[in-house]
Structures are given as C-alpha cells and as structure tokens.
C-alpha cells in the first residue's frame, strides 16, 4: 500500500483558491507590473517637494497608496501561485520578481518620512485640518513621531529599501531547500505500508495512530533537514546578522528592541512571557506524564507528543469543519458567521488540500482590494478543523479591517494583534465542540487537538523565542553561529521543557529550528504566537461568560486594524498585555485541559 500526494492539477477547482480574482492570467499580471513601474516614476517626482504644503503631501500620499495597493496585489498573486507549487519555475520567477519590485517600492518612497520629519510635527498636524484627504493621518503621525529617532536620512533609507530584496536571499535560500529541494524518505507503517512525506503531509503523519508511521515520519523529516544543516545554519546566521545590522543602523539598543518597536511593544512584554512560561513548565511536565500513561508507553518520545489519544476520533470532512466553525463563532453574530461560511465554501478563499510541491504550513494572505486567501493542507480531522479555524480568524480580521478602514496605512495591522484573532477562533470553536458533544471519546479528541495547538503556540514558540533571543545576543556580542551551536542550544531548551518525561533525541530535536524557516527569519515573530494565544483565551472567556459589551468590544478591535497601536487595540477588546495576567490566565486554561484529560482517561480504567 502507498499513499501518494496528488499533483496540483489533480486537486478539484472548488478546493483551490481563486487567484484569478486578482489577475485573470499571468499576462494580466505582467501588464500590472508595467503599470506599477510607471507609478514608481510618478512617486519619484515628489522627492524634495513634500514641504510645499498640505495639497502636495496629500497628492503624494494618494499616489503612494495607489502604488502600494498595486505592488501588494502583484506580490500576493505571485506568492500565492508559488506557495502551492514551489516546483513551478515560472511561478518561482514571478515570486522572485515580485520581491524585487517590493524592494523597489520601499526604496522609491524612502524620501518621504525624512522629509516629513524635516517639516515638523506641529506643522504636519496643522495641515491635517487644511486638506480633508489628510484628516485620517493623525495616528500615522503619532507612530512616526514615536519612531523618529530611528528614521535615517533619505539616502540611508533609500539604501535600506534597496537592500531589502538582497537581504531576503537568506530566507529564500532556506525556503527553497525546505520546500523544493529536500527529499524525504517515505514513512513506513508497522504493516509495511509507505506514506509520502511532503511539507503538506508531515502534520498528518505525526498524528498517525501507527507509532511506526509517526516514528519514521518524524525521523525522516528531521534527517532530511539534518542533511542540509550546515547550509541552513549559514542562511540563518546571515538572517540574524541582517537583523543586527538593521538594529545598529537605526540606533536601537538591541535586536529585540528593534524588532518590537515596529509594533510599539515594550520589551517587558517579551520578558513577561518568557518568565511566566518558565515558571509554568511543571504543567507541561505533568501533561507529558499523563500522555505517556494514557498511551500505555514505558517511554515517551518526541514523535509521541501528538499520538492520538481518542479511541474513536471523529472524521471531519472540510465542509463539516466549516459548518462547525461557523456555528462556534455565532456568539460574534450572524453576519460574522455567514461571511466566514461564504468565504470558505463559495468564494474560494481557501486552498484546501496538500499537493506535491505545496509549501509547508498554513497562512492567511491578501491585501486591501482583494478578499482574504488561506493556504493550508487540510486533513479530515479535528487538527485540520483547528488549523482552518485559526486561518479564518486571520482572514476575518483582515476582511473586517479592509471593510472598515479607508486609509490604506490602517488596513495593515501589526503581527502582535494578528495571532489574537486566529487563536480566538480556535478557543471559541473548542468551547462549542465540548459543549455540543459530551461523549468522553469526542471530548478527549477535542482536548488532544487543543493540547497539540498549545504544544505549538505555548511550548514550541516560547522555546523558539528563547532560542531566537540567544542567537541574536550571540551575534551582537560578536560570537559565531553554526549548525552544532544552533542544534545544541535548541536541544538544551527543549530538554528543559520536556523535563524527565520525554526521551530527547538531541540531534533530531535540535534541528527543529530549520523546520520553521519562515518564522526564524521574521525577526522575533514567534513570541507573538504565545502572547496571541494568551490574549485570545482571556477575551474568549469573557465572551463565553456573557460579559456585557464584550462582543462589541471584540468586533471593534477587529475593525480597528492599524488605526491604533496594538496594545491599545487589545485594550479596546478588553485585555492589557503589558501585564503577565493574560499569560497566567491561559496557563490556567491549559492546566484545566490537563485536569479534564486525566479525568477522562482514568474513566476508561
């Protein structure tokens, strides 16, 4: 028996996203590229003129928004096509060109912020009342004023824009290795059946009921990355050095401050998370012990952490998942649920199933002027449902922001708030499923999916955040990074998290960093998964408890987009992330799942 991933052209159209809604054909995309290049010339004509008055500044901002919208659509179209078939050389070429065009856009507009700083904030704020097109830019100026110490001259900003494409090479190289060039030996079951390992299928194989499938999938996946560990380590070291370079050019104290300042987040938020995580590691140790006993194993290995615990896990086809998710989100109102359902079933927001060449992971994409797009590799189970719920949370956040915010600069929200909306949907849907079905086996299945998600967001991501902080600090101190240093550091951190309950294969556990190539090149992105899941559970508990005004406050948060600072947006929703309280609350939720799991497992006898 062999389970082989389908080719792209074997996936029914209804389960492919409709990139044609952006550009009907690659030829139309080429026309848009030509038009964009003309827009760049128009933008360049404003250089040195912004101080002429409010009308000129408004003209520039209108032209810049139009250009940003154009390059956004160009980039999204190219990246979506490449993501679902990384072996398609035409798609790869368009994706590479789009990255370059994005860098050109940044370089061409690099003069604007230095010129606005030279005008002065008193003058700029007076201009807001002199031209109605500038009226909505008050928050933009507030953000620029907070960042002014780190905005360089027009010439330096132009150089930083021009090197953006070159600086993406390290991440791109790692991505090409991981998504297109790695060759995985198939997983092999205890019955001799073989299973193709791809970036789209590995998640399902590591949750397989057959321990031998899990073991061989996990080891073969890790071994493929280990075969290229030196190249991947060199790429990651280059990425970290680029972060440190940018930090120093912009005059920040360290890389963490530089990364968090873009979202106006104090570094204490990061350290609060890490300290609270470390203090609550005994909860994870207890879970590993319960999981080992539930599985009846003498020893628990890393490939067992997602082994199925339910004796009768539900089969959840895609359409059923959409129905359960929409029903679970009804506390937010019928309009929210209906929009979500229509996007997932009728408007082809989602590229649903795995295929050969499809990149790893899942994401939500799009820009103002398109509808949201979701890439995933759906599996007919609660894990697939949860991933879909997560990405639909992102997509609905974008949809409501785009529908509400006219100002393009406010249609993009920070990463810090993005992970709140996604994890919120998962929390709401789990609560619905646990309430709707009291079957012990169904409840165990829901809890094990929840624990799998917590494992990723509240175990792996804080561990990677600690790893990321350490490797950046090493480069800041002038120390070297290589594959052995990276692997040993991460193996140590994971060993602390597993405690004495999991037998750690240091080499294969240590290479985990290479399996998160997008995240590791996103400059302190991963900690936001953990802060996001924390804020999400604090907010979902409030709504599920029927707190007056909680629903309206949460919807206002989704619609706010980037029109307020991230911490302020979350305060609108009802949570203060400058305090560790939400993280502590969410560890309480996690402990509650562990308690319920232990109770349900013991009922089996």
Token pair of 181 as six digits: 């060039």
pLDDT of residue 213: 98
Res. 168: pLDDT tops 60: yes
pLDDT of residue 440: 93
The β-bridge partners of 351 are 375
Q: Average model confidence (pLDDT) for the chain?
A: 94
Higher pLDDT: 154 or 427? It is 427
What whole-number percentage of the chain has pLDDT above 90?
85
Res. 278: pLDDT tops 90: yes
- Residue 19 · residue 87 · CB < 8 Å: no
Average pLDDT over residues 363-377: 96
pLDDT of residue 1: 35
The β-bridge partners of 368 are 370
Stretch among 153-167, 332-346, 499-513 having the lowest mean pLDDT: 153-167
pLDDT of residue 150: 84
Q: What's the pLDDT tens digit per position in 357-368?
A: 898 789 999 999
Q: What's the pLDDT tens digit per position in 515-547?
A: 998 888 888 999 999 999 999 999 999 999 999
Written as one string, the DSSP assignment of 236-255 is: HHHHHHHHHHHHHHTT-SSH
Residue 426 buriedness (CB in 10 A; 0-12 / 13-18 / 19+): buried
Which residues contact residue 224 at a Cβ distance below 8 angstroms, ignoring those fewer than 6 apart? 182, 183, 184, 185
CA-to-CA separations, 595 to 290, 371, 509, 602, in angstroms, rounded: 10, 41, 28, 11
Which of the residues 391, 419, 449, 468 is marked catalytic?
Answer: 391
Average pLDDT over residues 485-513: 97
Q: Give the three-class secondary structure for 343.
A: helix
Give the integer Cα–Cα distance in Å for 453 and 448.
Answer: 9
* Residue in the structure block whose two tokens are 């997983």: 187
Which helix (H) or strand (E) covers residue 215, if one does? helix 211-226
Average pLDDT over residues 455-483: 96
Pick from 499, 469, 467, 498: which is nearest to 485 by CA? 467
Give the integer Cα–Cα distance in Å for 566 and 563.
Answer: 9
Stretch among 152-166, 266-280, 497-511, 570-584 having the lowest mean pLDDT: 152-166
Res. 3: pLDDT tops 70: no
Give the integer Cα–Cα distance in Å for 326 and 540.
Answer: 15
- Residue 294 · residue 447 · CB < 8 Å: no
Q: What's the pLDDT tens digit per position in 186-240?
A: 999 999 999 999 887 888 899 899 999 999 999 999 999 999 999 999 999 999 9
pLDDT of residue 514: 95
pLDDT of residue 85: 93
* Residue in the structure block whose two tokens are 């029903």: 327
What's the pTM value of the predicted model, to 2 decimals? 0.85
3-state secondary structure 114-175: HHHHHHCHHHHHHHCCCCHHHHHHHHHHHHHHHHHHHCCCHHHHHHHHHHHHHHCHHHHHHH
- Residue 440 · residue 600 · CB < 8 Å: yes
- Residue 376 · residue 358 · CB < 8 Å: no
pLDDT of residue 94: 96
CA-to-CA separations, 405 to 122, 408, 414, 552, 561, in angstroms, rounded: 25, 7, 14, 17, 7
- Helices vs strands, H then E, count in the chain: 27, 6
Please state the φ and ψ torsions of residue 379, each to the nearest 5 degrees. -115, 145
Which residues contact residue 492 at a Cβ distance below 8 angstroms, ignoring those fewer than 6 apart? none
Establish whether 391 is a catalytic residue. yes
* Residue in the structure block whose two tokens are 């010439």: 155
pLDDT of residue 549: 96
pLDDT of residue 562: 94
3-state secondary structure 586-601: HHHHHHHHHHHHHHHH
Give me the sheet containing 373-375, strands edge to edge. Answer: 350-351, 373-375, 363-365
Give the integer Cα–Cα distance in Å for 128 and 58.
Answer: 9
Give the integer Cα–Cα distance in Å for 289 and 126.
Answer: 63
pLDDT of residue 605: 65
User: Hey, how many other C-beta atoms are within 10 angstroms of the C-beta on 406?
Assistant: 10
pLDDT of residue 155: 87
Average pLDDT over residues 448-462: 94
pLDDT of residue 166: 80
- Domains in the chain, ordered, with CATH? 2-167 (1.20.140.70), 228-337+381-605 (1.10.1370.20)
Q: What angle do CA 584, 593, 430 make, to 5 degrees?
A: 100
Average pLDDT over residues 405-418: 91
Please, where are the H alpha helices in 370-460? 382-404, 415-436, 440-455
The sign of the CA dihedral 225, 227, 233, 238 is negative
Token pair of 317 as six digits: 């086809």
Q: What's the pLDDT tens digit per position in 44-74?
A: 999 999 999 999 999 999 999 999 999 999 9
pLDDT of residue 203: 84
Print burial letters for 236-268: b (CB count within 10 Å at least 16), e (below 16). bbbbbebbbebbeebebeebbbbbbbbbbbeee
């Amino acid at each position: 028996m062999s389970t082989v991933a389908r080719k792209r052209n074997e996936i029914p159209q209804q389960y492919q996203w409709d990139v044609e809604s952006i550009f009907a054909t690659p030829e139309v995309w080429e026309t848009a590229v030509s038009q964009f290049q003309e827009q760049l010339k128009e933008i360049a004509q404003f250089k040195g003129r912004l101080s002429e008055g409010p009308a000129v500044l408004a003209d520039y901002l209108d032209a810049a928004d139009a250009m940003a919208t154009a390059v956004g659509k160009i980039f999204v179209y190219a990246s979506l096509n490449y993501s679902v078939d990384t072996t398609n050389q035409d798609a790869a070429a368009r994706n590479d060109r789009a990255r370059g065009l994005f860098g050109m856009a940044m370089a061409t507009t690099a003069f604007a912020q230095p010129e606005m700083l030279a005008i002065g904030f008193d003058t700029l704020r007076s201009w807001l009342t002199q031209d109605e097109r500038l009226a909505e830019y008050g928050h933009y100026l507030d953000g620029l004023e907070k960042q002014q110490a780190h905005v360089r001259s027009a010439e330096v900003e132009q150089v930083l824009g021009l090197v953006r494409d070159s600086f993406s090479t390290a991440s791109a190289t790692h991505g090409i290795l991981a998504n297109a060039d790695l060759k995985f030996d198939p997983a092999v079951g205890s019955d001799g059946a073989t299973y193709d390992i791809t970036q789209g299928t590995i998640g399902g194989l590591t949750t397989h009921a057959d321990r031998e499938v899990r073991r061989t999938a996990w080891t073969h996946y890790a071994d493929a990355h280990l075969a290229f560990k030196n190249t991947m380590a060199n790429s990651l070291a280059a990425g970290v050095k680029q972060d440190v370079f940018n930090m120093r050019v912009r005059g920040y104290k360290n890389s963490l401050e530089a990364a968090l300042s873009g979202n106006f987040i104090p570094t204490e938020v990061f350290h609060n998370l890490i300290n609270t995580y470390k203090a609550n590691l005994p909860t994870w140790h207890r879970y590993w012990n319960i999981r080992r006993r539930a599985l009846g194993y003498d020893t628990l290995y890393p490939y067992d952490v997602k082994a199925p615990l339910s004796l009768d896990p539900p089969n959840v086809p895609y359409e059923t998942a959409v129905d359960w998710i929409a029903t679970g989100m009804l506390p937010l109102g019928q309009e929210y649920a209906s929009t979500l359902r229509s996007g997932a079933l009728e408007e082809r927001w989602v590229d649903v199933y795995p295929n050969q060449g499809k990149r790893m992971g899942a994401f939500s994409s799009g820009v103002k002027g398109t509808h949201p797009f979701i890439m995933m590799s759906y599996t007919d189970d609660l894990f697939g449902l949860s991933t879909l719920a997560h990405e639909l949370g992102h997509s609905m956040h974008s949809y409501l922001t785009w529908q509400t915010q006219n100002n393009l600069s406010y249609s993009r929200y920070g990463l810090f708030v993005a992970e709140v909306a996604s994890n919120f949907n998962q929390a709401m849907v789990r609560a619905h499923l646990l309430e709707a079905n009291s079957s012990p086996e169904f409840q165990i299945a829901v809890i094990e999916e929840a624990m799998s998600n917590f494992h990723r967001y509240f175990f792996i991501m804080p561990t990677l955040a600690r790893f990321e902080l350490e490797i950046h600090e090493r480069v800041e101190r002038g120390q070297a990074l290589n594959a052995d240093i990276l692997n040993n550091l991460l193996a140590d951190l994971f060993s602390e998290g597993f405690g004495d309950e999991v037998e750690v294969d240091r080499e294969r556990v240590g290479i985990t960093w290479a399996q998160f190539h997008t995240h590791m090149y996103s400059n302190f992105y991963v900690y936001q998964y953990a802060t996001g899941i924390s804020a999400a559970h604090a907010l979902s508990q409030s709504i599920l408890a029927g707190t007056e005004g909680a629903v309206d406050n949460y919807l206002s948060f989704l619609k706010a987009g980037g029109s307020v600072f991230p911490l302020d947006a979350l305060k609108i929703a009802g949570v203060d992330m400058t305090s560790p309280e939400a993280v502590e609350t969410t560890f309480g939720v996690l402990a509650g799942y562990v308690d319920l799991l232990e109770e349900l497992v013991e009922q089996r006898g």
